[in-house]
Amino acid sequence: GNPVEQINETINYNEHFPWNFGANYDRSYSQGLEKGLPSPILYVAEKFSTQSPCAVHRQYRIAGHYASATLWVAFCTWIISNILLSMPVLVYGGYMLLVTAAFMIFSLLSFSTVRNSPMCLIQIGTRTLHVAYGGSFWLILAIGLLCFVAGIAIVAVHHLNLDLLKAFFNLREDKEEEYQEMPKVFVNPYFVTKGL
């Protein structure tokens, strides 16, 4: 309710209906009916039940599942790219950044397919509930594009000017160190003649 504190009661409902694959959404919806939740909450929850003609529960659950799985794969490829960028194989780190960007963009595309499906209108009073992308969607899109640009830049600089790339990542070997003379070493003749 608005305001939360009203004359006779505090109206601040925070209900949870599980989406994961092991959970039974319809059972939690039935429990909400038995509990006597307010009709706006039950109305919205009913649209996502499996018996609803809208059939959006399955679409959102599968899209969220695949988006989550591909984001975890993107996280793993990002860790691998960081490991490769700390080693002298910079071009493979760039390739792994491109793979990371591809998995991030694919996760957004798999979630965005839900938006293209026809959705039943959810009206509460005179207002209609509209589904929109949140901050996490735009953040993942920005980071995915950043990984793509960084990966392309690393691969391009590797093929165009490898010395510049090694200098940027501080992997360049100094020429002076390569040609330094070895210092004189004391050799114990006893060990040389006897052997080990």
Residue 190 forms part of a structural domain: no
Q: Which of 2-16, 118-132, 155-169 has the lowest mean pLDDT?
A: 2-16
pLDDT in tens, 86-130: 888 899 999 999 999 999 999 999 888 876 666 677 777 788 877
Name the domain boundary from 26, 52, 78: 52
pLDDT tens, residue by residue, 18-68: 776 667 777 888 888 888 887 777 888 887 777 777 777 777 778 888 899
Mean pLDDT for all residues in the chain: 81
Same domain, 27 and 48: yes
pLDDT at residue 29, as a whole number: 80
Q: Look at the chain and report how many structural domains it folds into.
A: 2
Residues 40 and 72 both lie in one domain: no
Q: What is the pLDDT of residue 13?
A: 66
Q: Do residue 47 and residue 69 come from a single domain? A: no
Domain membership flag for residue 2: yes
Same domain, residue pair 83 and 165: yes
More confident site: 2 or 77: 77
Q: Are residues 74 and 159 in the same domain?
A: yes
For the range 47-55, what are the long-range contacts, defined as Cβ-Cβ under 8 Å and sequence gap of 24 or more? 47/120, 47/122, 48/17, 49/25, 50/25, 50/26, 51/26, 52/120, 53/120, 54/119, 54/120
- Which residues, other chains included, contact 148 with Cβ-Cβ below 8 Å and sequence gap of 6+? 97, 98, 101, 102, 105
Judge contact between 91 and 97, C-beta under 8 A.
Answer: no
Evaluate whether residue 189 is within a structural domain: no
Per-residue confidence at 145, pLDDT binned at 50, 70, 90? very high
**Do 35 and 111 share a domain, yes or no?**
no
φ/ψ of residue 129, rounded to 5: -80, 120
Q: Is 128 exposed, middle or buried (0-12, 13-18, 19+ CB in 10 A)?
A: exposed
The token pair that represents 5 in the structure block = 């504190």
For residue 187, being part of any structural domain is answered with no
- Nearest-angstrom CA–CA distance, 138 and 73: 19
Residues 39 and 112 in one domain: no
| Residue 100: predicted pLDDT | 97
Q: Are residues 81 and 5 in the same domain?
A: no
pLDDT higher than threshold 60 for residue 195:
no
Domain with 167, as residue range(s), is 62-171
Higher per-residue confidence, 75 vs 45: 75
pTM: 0.70
Strand boundaries in 94-164, DSSP class E: 122-124, 127-129
User: Are 155 and 87 in a shared domain?
Assistant: yes
25 inside domain? yes
Q: Contact, 17 vs 29, CB < 8 A?
A: yes
Which of these ranges, 8-12, 89-93, 103-107, 190-194, has the smallest mean pLDDT?
8-12
119 occurs within a structural domain: yes
**Does 83 lie in the same domain as 48?**
no
Matching residue, tokens 């790339």: 165
Determine the pLDDT at residue 44.
81
The torsion angles phi and psi of 127, rounded to 5 degrees, stand at -100, 155
Predicted confidence at residue 1, as pLDDT, reads 46
Task: Based on the fold, state whether residues 5 and 35 are members of the same structural domain.
Answer: yes
